């Protein structure tokens, strides 16, 4: 452990710590552009120069490892002069276009120029200018502003796993580019705007929209996949202008997927801003009172078992518990939060969770992916696997459809046969798993939607047991859920009650006329023709599939417009916060259900958010522990049965449109044009 002195303070650091990191531990600020905590060290901006005793010239602190007896000074005349020199050099070719630059106000170069810049330049020659690059619909490239820190190049290679950016040319002619002017095809490309310390790479849809100091910042949770990325929503007035990542080492580190970041323009389009009732075949705008009255009249005298409720993918736990209680009060046992029609064993929590946890992936040394494409289904989890892969010694096997995953894997086969072989120890990969210290498997949620989902869940459990994935302190059995609402719904038991029907049963019942009324709580992924002649109530925020078929539409709040609880695929309970008010007459979802219950004569026993949350905790105490992950006990789950030999298909084939918000987003539509070559008429989560 080297011991060194920085600015007169002694510090002992771990071997391999750089001088810059040691300075940070002491709380000393060192300016930097190219250094980034999560990327390799390039040491090419030279902004972090500090003075080192017995060194004839200043050293780049980011790349200098601490050594015993070093004496570092960060605030001397020499260090300051050196940094000023570097700053002047960087500014030689940097345009003075801060007033029209989107980075203005949150620019590292701007901030550091205040401390180390001169108030005028000595450079009279012509500045360098670089032709504009086309990096696709998400990232705006203004490469004249580039200071060649190479953070973006390193991000693409080391985090996103796609080597598309590079520095071509040399000297003053150096340009950061894809060389062949191609869009950056990564599901994480939006993070380039965050890693870029200047205004060279910026958020294209947000271009010229706002200045950072005009924005109201709300820390909340993303719901567009089941990762539960921690985000910050920046809004002005009632408009969400952009979404940024928030640091959470256990979930998303400091990255978010492009859908999380860029689908927010979908919050402004196709919105349901007032209640509607279908009259003479057409949806007519009505008042809240009329809409609730219409429901009350229609449901009057309908037996509870002829009513059903389905919850969608983006719904908060508060709304689900309210609907569950309402259906219970109406005597209906027919409810399901798995609108995809999945039929697997939800009785044991460990059977539907990502038990290893996302940060746990970093310990894994062998991974078996089953019927999943994590790159499209959860880019953040894929980035963790890629991070682990780069450390070396990770073996990855895949059963199911092959796809480009940014890391090499062994393809074991397409269907249940290789899975059985691994379970029986007859496949070579079984030996790899058995000889690993921390083996894990990831079962795609798409596989569970098959008719034989429960059987495959059981086989996967056998694989986990047979290869030693489950032991105290390590659980390698993982289900990669796709919907932000799913685990919350399962945890609070939004499932068929005794004698009740599940999603498939409800839809069959609707077709046969046994189900008279269906309450869709944000459920949009069901083919509307399957509701038969049933009376459909749709509560949600977008005029998507569900609303088009509905007889009564109740406008709810999108995830940025309500305080909601979500449980991610790991089982992590997280709270989203209201960033803007719901549009028009839309209301928070649990309040709508509370108001409706009053009209139906079965008032729900809660009037405040706090009371709803108390009810949540009463239903499942897990909801009390927000932020962390409670290890789910390992029990028997799944149903042994016949599994079909049909190859496993990943559930998401179009990353950019999987839910009502991203389907309404123009930016996502542009991404599909740019990145999805042939879609063959499929949209979002087909099936």
Partner 1 sequence: MSASASDGAVVAVHQPDSFAFSAEYAAAAEQIEGRYPPEKRASAVIPLLHLAQRQHANWLPKAAMDYVADRLGMARIRVYEVATFYTMFNKEPVGKHLIQVCTTTPCWLRGSDEVLGACKRRLGIGPGETTPDGQFTVVEVECAGACVNAPVVAIGDDYYEDLDGPAMVALLDQLARGESPTPGSQTGRRGSCPATGPTTLTNQPLPSAAADLATGADD
Residues in contact with partner 1 by CB under 8 A are 131, 157, 163-171, 173, 175, 177-181
Choice between 227 and 394, CB closer to partner 1: 394
Q: Among candidates 41, 225, 252, 76, which has minimal Cα distance to 151?
A: 41
Q: For the CB of residue 195, give the shortest distance to partner 1 in the complex, in Å.
A: 17
Do 83 and 47 touch, CB atoms closer than 8 A?
yes
Residue 461 half-sphere exposure, CB side, CA atoms within 13 Å? Answer: 22
The 3-state DSSP composition of the chain as helix, strand, coil percent (nearest 5) reads 35, 20, 50
Q: How far apart are CA 575 and CA 627, in angstroms?
A: 8
Q: What is the phi/psi pair of residue 163, to 5°?
A: -85, 85
* Burial annotation 582-610 (CB, 10 A radius, 16+ → b, else e): bbeebbbbbbbbbbbbebbeeebebeebe
Tell me which DSSP letter residue 160 carries.
I
Q: How far apart are CA 557 and CA 669, in angstroms?
A: 23
Q: Is 30 left (phi over 0), alpha (psi -120 to 50) or beta?
A: beta
Residue 368: strand pairing partners: 397, 441
Q: What is the length of the chain?
A: 687
Choice between 173 and 282, CB closer to partner 1: 173
Choice between 168 and 424, CB closer to partner 1: 168
Q: For the CB of residue 635, give the shortest distance to partner 1 in the complex, in Å.
A: 45
Choice between 184 and 550, CB closer to partner 1: 184
List, in order, residues 6 or more apart from 652 with CB less than 8 Å away.
Answer: 373, 376, 377, 446, 482, 658, 684, 685
Q: For the CB of residue 84, give the shortest distance to partner 1 in the complex, in Å.
A: 27
Choice between 142 and 316, CB closer to partner 1: 142
Q: For the CB of residue 50, give the shortest distance to partner 1 in the complex, in Å.
A: 30
Choice between 56 and 392, CB closer to partner 1: 392
Q: How far apart are CA 622 and CA 599, in angstroms?
A: 31
Q: For the CB of residue 160, give the shortest distance to partner 1 in the complex, in Å.
A: 12
What one-character-per-residue DSSP string does 290-322 give? HHHHHHHHHHTT--GGGEEEEE-SS--HHHHHH
Q: For the CB of residue 179, give the shortest distance to partner 1 in the complex, in Å.
A: 4
Q: For the CB of residue 94, give the shortest distance to partner 1 in the complex, in Å.
A: 20
Beta carbons within 10 angstroms of residue 210's beta carbon: 16
* Burial annotation 107-131 (CB, 10 A radius, 16+ → b, else e): bbbbebbeebbeeeeeeeeeeeebe
Q: Among candidates 39, 40, 20, which has minimal Cα distance to 31?
A: 20
Q: What is the phi/psi pair of residue 322, to 5°?
A: -65, -45
Q: Among candidates 181, 476, 497, which has minimal Cα distance to 323?
A: 497
Do 315 and 485 touch, CB atoms closer than 8 A?
yes
Choice between 92 and 348, CB closer to partner 1: 92
Residue 308 is encoded by which pair of tokens?
């059903």
Q: For the CB of residue 156, give the shortest distance to partner 1 in the complex, in Å.
A: 9
Residue 454 is encoded by which pair of tokens?
């429960």
Q: For the CB of residue 182, give the shortest distance to partner 1 in the complex, in Å.
A: 10
Choice between 184 and 251, CB closer to partner 1: 184
Q: For the CB of residue 180, give the shortest distance to partner 1 in the complex, in Å.
A: 7
Q: For the CB of residue 97, give the shortest distance to partner 1 in the complex, in Å.
A: 22
Q: For the CB of residue 263, give the shortest distance to partner 1 in the complex, in Å.
A: 28
Residue 552: strand pairing partners: 277, 537
Give Cα 511 to chain centroid, integer Å: 36
Q: For the CB of residue 184, give the shortest distance to partner 1 in the complex, in Å.
A: 11
């Amino acid at each position: 452990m080297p011991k060194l002195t920085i600015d007169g303070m002694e510090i002992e650091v771990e071997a391999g710590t750089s001088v810059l990191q040691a300075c940070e531990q002491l709380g000393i600020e060192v300016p930097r552009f190219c250094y980034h905590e999560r990327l390799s060290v390039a040491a090419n901006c030279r902004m972090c120069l500090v003075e080192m005793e017995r060194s004839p010239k200043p050293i780049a602190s980011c790349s200098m490892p601490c050594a015993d007896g070093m004496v570092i000074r960060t605030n001397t005349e020499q260090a300051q002069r050196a940094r000023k020199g570097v700053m002047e050099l960087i500014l030689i070719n940097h345009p003075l276009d801060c007033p029209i630059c989107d980075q203005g106000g949150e620019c590292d170069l701007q901030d550091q120029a205040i401390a180390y810049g001169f108030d005028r330049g000595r450079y009279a020659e012509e500045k360098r200018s670089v032709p504009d690059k086309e990096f696709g619909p998400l990232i705006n490239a203004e490469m004249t502003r580039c200071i060649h820190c190479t953070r973006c190049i390193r991000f693409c290679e080391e985090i996103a796993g796609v080597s598309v950016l590079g520095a071509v040319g040399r000297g003053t002619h150096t340009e950061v580019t894809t060389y062949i002017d191609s869009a950056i095809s990564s599901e994480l490309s939006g993070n380039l705007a965050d890693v870029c310390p200047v205004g060279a790479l910026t958020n294209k849809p947000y271009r010229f929209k706002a200045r950072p100091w005009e924005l109201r910042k709300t820390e909340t949770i993303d719901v567009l996949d089941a990762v539960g990325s921690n985000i910050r929503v920046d809004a002005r007035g009632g408009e969400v202008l952009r979404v940024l990542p928030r640091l959470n080492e256990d979930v998303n580190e400091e990255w978010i997927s492009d859908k999380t970041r860029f689908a927010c323009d979908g919050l402004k389009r196709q919105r349901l801003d007032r209640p509607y009732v279908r009259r003479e075949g057409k949806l007519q705008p009505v008042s809240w009172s009329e809409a609730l009255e219409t429901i009350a009249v229609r449901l009057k005298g309908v037996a509870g078992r002829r009513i059903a409720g389905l919850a969608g993918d983006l719904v908060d736990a508060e709304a689900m518990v309210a609907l569950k209680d309402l259906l219970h009060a109406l005597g209906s046992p027919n409810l399901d939060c798995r609108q995809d029609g999945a039929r697997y064993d939800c009785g044991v929590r460990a059977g539907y969770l990502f038990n290893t946890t996302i940060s746990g992936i970093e310990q894994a040394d062998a991974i078996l992916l089953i019927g999943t494409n994590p790159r499209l289904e959860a880019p953040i989890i894929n980035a963790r696997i890629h991070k682990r892969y780069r450390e070396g010694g990770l073996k990855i096997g895949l059963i199911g459809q092959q796809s480009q995953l940014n890391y090499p894997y062994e393809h074991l086969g397409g269907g249940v046969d290789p899975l059985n072989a691994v379970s029986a120890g007859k496949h070579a990969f079984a030996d790899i798993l058995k000889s690993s210290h921390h083996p894990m498997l990831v079962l795609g949620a798409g596989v569970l939607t098959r008719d034989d989902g429960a059987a495959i869940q059981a086989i996967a459990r056998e694989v986990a047991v047979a290869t030693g994935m489950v032991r105290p302190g390590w659980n390698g059995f993982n289900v990669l859920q796709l919907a932000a609402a799913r685990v919350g719904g399962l945890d609070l038991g939004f499932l068929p009650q005794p004698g009740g029907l599940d999603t498939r049963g409800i839809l069959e019942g609707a077709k046969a006329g046994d189900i008279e009324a269906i309450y869709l709580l944000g459920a949009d992924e069901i083919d509307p023709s399957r509701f038969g002649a049933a009376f459909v109530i749709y509560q949600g925020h977008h005029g998507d599939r569900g609303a088009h078929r509905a007889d009564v539409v109740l406008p709810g709040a999108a995830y940025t417009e309500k305080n909601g609880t979500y449980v991610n695929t790991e089982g992590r309970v997280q709270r989203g916060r209201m960033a803007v008010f719901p549009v028009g007459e839309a209301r928070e979802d649990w309040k709508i259900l509370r108001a409706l219950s009053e009209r139906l004569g079965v008032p729900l026993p809660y009037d405040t958010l706090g009371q709803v949350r108390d009810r949540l905790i009463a239903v499942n105490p897990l909801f009390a522990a927000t932020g962390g992950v409670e290890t789910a006990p390992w029990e028997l789950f799944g149903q042994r049965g016949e599994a079909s030999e049909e190859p496993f298909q990943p559930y998401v084939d179009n990353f950019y449109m999987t839910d009502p918000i991203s389907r309404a987003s123009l930016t996502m539509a542009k991404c599909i044009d740019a990145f999805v070559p042939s879609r063959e008429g499929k949209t979002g989560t087909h099936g």
